[in-house]
Amino acid sequence: MDRREFISMKPTAAASPTGIKVANRRTSTGLAKYSGSWTQAEAKHLLSRTLFGFKTSELASFTSKGLDTAVADILNVSSTAPNPPLNNYSSADPNVPLGSTWVNANQDPTYNPQRRTSFKTWWTSLLIQQDATILEKMVLFLHNHFATQTETIDDPRMIYNHNAMLRANALGNFKSLVKLVTKDAGMLIYLNGALNTKAAPDENYARELQELFCVGKGPDSKYTEDDVKAAARVLTGWRVTRGANPVIVSFDSTKHDATDKVFSSFYSNATVTGETGSTAGDLELDDLLNMIFSVDEVAKFICRKLYRFFVYYEIDADTETNVIIPLANHFRTNNYDLKPVLEKLLLSEHFYDMANRGCYIKTPMDHVVGFARQTEMAFPDTSKGVMVQYDHWALWYYYSAIIGLDIGDPPNVAGWQAYYQEPQYYEMWINSDSLPKRNQFTDYLLFAGYSKSGYTTKASVLDMADRTSDPQTADTLVADSLALLLPMDASSSLKASVKSALLPGGIPDYNWKDAWNTYKSNPGNTTNTKNVENLLILMYKSIMNLSEYQLI
């Protein structure tokens, strides 16, 4: 079975004690530490799943590190917040000069749409410029998990602060993060928490706290409608002062239900004792979260989501037993810290199992940002001005949205369907509409590039070839290029097919060698240089139009 047949294999419906749809048996490996060889293939797999694309130098560096150092470095994320988004949209904004940040400015409904676009473009630029750590992948994971929509929140300051909160806690304590999310201004607006009063309890956030954020909705998640109602009463009284600068989140004890809240047997018939006064909101919230996190299903639910995001979408009975359950135990043992769980997973024999390599369809962001990073495209620097920089980053944000992932605006509170919709999961990223657009994107940036504001962003195929180990030798150039751009080893027939794009019509290998060496020794020979460039464009296009190129 080849890899394309493998990813299209449909699961067999079968009963499962966890309620998870069971696939034909894939692998019986578990969380024992991987003890196999550490080669470029293993480094590539790690980088493909934890970064949005990787550079040639990053692949070489991580190949040389070995397993332990590679995983440690991937998880060594910076605690320094990136520079905030800027006004790239207008010199007429009365509160924010062009090139200055709007995150601390007064809200201005006139410029809210432009600031929201500025935010999305800025966030995309962080993916393009990411360092070789898991941070950006984890921020997207948490954004999908605690899904909000920029258009609903509207206030760009809240949108930015919500993102900053996820970023600062990306590998931190999950339980603590849930508390921060519960009191976050953007989430309070998005799920109506700021409207929740004792006179009219709003159940929206209380439901999603359990169903989507902590416990899940499988057959073992047996919370009740009464539990939703009781949690809504616990969460009464939180308020957002939108007109303030900065935005103020406060607790109004006069709006809070101070009676006791009794929960079902799923939560061991726990009671959250009603509190009064200015600290009542925090006290009851702590009791509520302690109760929720005492349930084993929380750890299993989060570990399944991490597994589907970083490893594979189908969880069969073997994986549930050998990976999910022990990983969930590890999560609880480490007091719900995320980093130890990711470390255990990324060091495991299961993660590097051949069945889990090259079987994950690239998300739209993996596709567009991965192209930028693997081709090492040159984007405008600060000398070109903020408007030019944002104009060119924006293409990546817009094109990701066109093919299915509008960063900042998942389709609903459950996130993107590709992360939860059985049985397709991330097979949903590819369809008859999105696949041609994916190919058009890479073709466009190989052939013409994106020109705007006097700058052209274009993949330099000459530089790409120059980064291979021996670009003058056609076979080596093809092999190295396939090794960088495809997640699996290329067959001899595939190498021959790609080589025929480089040397069409049976052109002898020595013709390529002569043309390349002439280009290197005499780049001023425009005719030869253009011929070399055109042949390389055809070669890289042939790789990027392969089905295998859509996989990581």
d(CA 108, CA 351): 47
Q: Which long-range contacts (CB under 8 A, 24 or more apart) does 509-518 make?
A: 509/473, 509/474, 509/475, 512/472, 512/474, 513/472, 513/473, 513/474, 516/465, 516/471, 516/472, 517/472
**How deeply is 424 buried, as exposed, middle or buried, from its count of CB atoms within 10 A (0-12, 13-18, 19+)?**
middle
Asked if residues 341 and 327 have their Cβ atoms less than 8 Å apart, the reply is yes
**Sign of the torsion formed by the C-alpha atoms of 469, 470, 471 and 476:** negative
352 neighbors 323 (Cβ within 8 angstroms): no
- pTM assigned to the model: 0.95
d(CA 57, CA 46): 15
Spatial distance between the Cα atoms of 473 and 475, rounded to a whole number of angstroms: 6
User: What pLDDT does residue 378 have?
Assistant: 97
**DSSP letter string over 193-256?**
GGG--SSS---HHHHHIIIIIIS-SSTT----HHHHHHHHHHTTTEEEETTSSS-EEEE-GGGS
Confidence at residue 24, expressed as pLDDT on a 0 to 100 scale: 58
Chain CA centroid to CA 452, Å: 28
User: Among 308, 352, 302, 353, which residue's Cα sits nearest to residue 328?
Assistant: 302
- Displacement of CA 527 from its chain's centroid (Å): 43
Residue 14 has phi, psi (to 5 degrees) of: -155, 155
**Helices (H) then strands (E): counts for the chain:** 25, 6
Task: Please answer whether residues 299 and 324 qualify as being in contact, where contact means their C-beta atoms are separated by less than 8 angstroms.
Answer: no
Query: Measured between alpha carbons, how far is residue 132 from residues 46, 58, 190, 306 in Å?
Result: 11, 7, 33, 19
Token pair for residue 419? 């992360």
Distance CA 310, CA 345 (A): 9
Q: Do residues 461 and 533 touch, judged by C-beta distance below 8 A?
A: yes
d(CA 49, CA 340) in angstroms, rounded, equals 17
Residue 22 contacts residue 11 (beta carbons within 8 Å):
yes
Residue-level pLDDT, tens digit, the chain, 552 residues: 344 443 443 333 333 333 444 445 689 999 999 999 999 999 999 999 999 999 999 999 999 999 999 999 999 999 999 999 999 999 999 999 999 999 999 999 999 999 999 999 999 999 999 999 999 999 999 999 999 999 999 999 999 999 999 999 999 999 999 999 999 999 999 999 999 999 999 999 999 999 999 999 988 999 999 999 999 999 999 999 998 999 999 999 999 999 999 999 999 999 999 999 999 999 999 999 999 999 999 999 999 999 999 999 999 999 999 999 999 999 999 999 999 999 999 999 999 999 999 999 999 999 999 999 999 999 999 999 999 999 999 999 999 999 999 999 999 999 999 999 999 999 999 999 999 999 999 999 999 999 999 999 999 999 999 999 999 999 999 999 999 999 999 999 999 999 999 999 999 999 999 999 999 999 999 999 999 999 999 999 999 999 999 999
Question: Within 13 A of 219's CA, how many CA atoms are on the CB side?
Answer: 7
Between the alpha carbon of residue 37 and those of residues 312, 345, 445, 543, the distances in Å are: 22, 17, 36, 27
